[in-house]
Amino acid sequence: MTYCVLGIGNPGSEYAHTKHNIGWWVVDELARRHDIALKRERLRARYGRGRVKSVDVVLAQPLTYVNASGDAALRLAVFFRIRPANFIIVLDDMNLEPGAVRLRPGGSDGGHRGLRSIIEVFGTTEVPRLRVGIGSPPEGKRAVEWVLSPFAEDVRPVVDEAITRAADCIEVALTQGLPTAMSQFNG
């Protein structure tokens, strides 16, 4: 059985260091750890296939921009014959403080348009997702400005730790199941 870890983000150098791309950073960390090259670019995604521990996995980063992430997710699902329940969507979350990670087996999109796009194309809310906290915008700053800006330098160590914890969480979810990963990492 093959799984897909799909990190939501925006393509292009102008977005590479923005909060909205934290899903890509987690996928990059998993690719580095497990020596999976993310060099194929088709199916509206950059992806690589390999193993995380003993599990066959596709690591992917949509090349569609956040709001159209469902297009890449659906193409990957069809091409690799992966059910929605065998995806783990990694995304930023303004409702969680920087450093927090929260794994869920399904539920609403929580206002995240990329996750909404994936839920719409799959036709189900039962798509596992790992939310990584980016904190909420300060008063007077619009959400779009917040997610498309980089983290402040003083927050970056906390974010780097969250990326490590998110990758650890995904490894546990893939090898021991979502309930075990949720009990270890949701705090």
Going from the N-terminus, what domains does the chain have, and what CATH number goes with each?
2-185 (3.40.50.1470)
Q: How far is CA 141 from the centre of its chain?
A: 24
Angle at 47 between CA 43 and CA 48, to 5 degrees: 130
pLDDT at 168: 98
Q: If you count DSSP H runs as helices and E runs as strands, how many of each does the chain have, helices first?
A: 6, 7
* Residues ≥6 apart with Cβ < 8 Å to 43: 72, 75, 76, 79
Concerning whether 20 is annotated as a catalytic residue, the answer is yes
Average pLDDT for runs of 10 along the chain of length 187: 97 96 98 98 97 97 97 98 98 96 97 97 98 95 95 96 98 98 94
Would you state the pLDDT for residue 131?
98
Q: Kindly name the residue from 17, 20, 34, 112 that is annotated as catalytic.
A: 20
Element at 69 (helix H, strand E): helix 69-80
Tell me, what's the pLDDT at 161? Answer: 98
CA–CA separation, 146 and 20 (whole Å): 9
Amino acid found at 47 = Y
In degrees, rounded to 5, the angle at the alpha carbon of residue 69 between the alpha carbons of residues 67 and 70 is 110
pTM: predicted TM-score of the whole model, two decimal places? 0.97
Residue 187: the pLDDT is 72
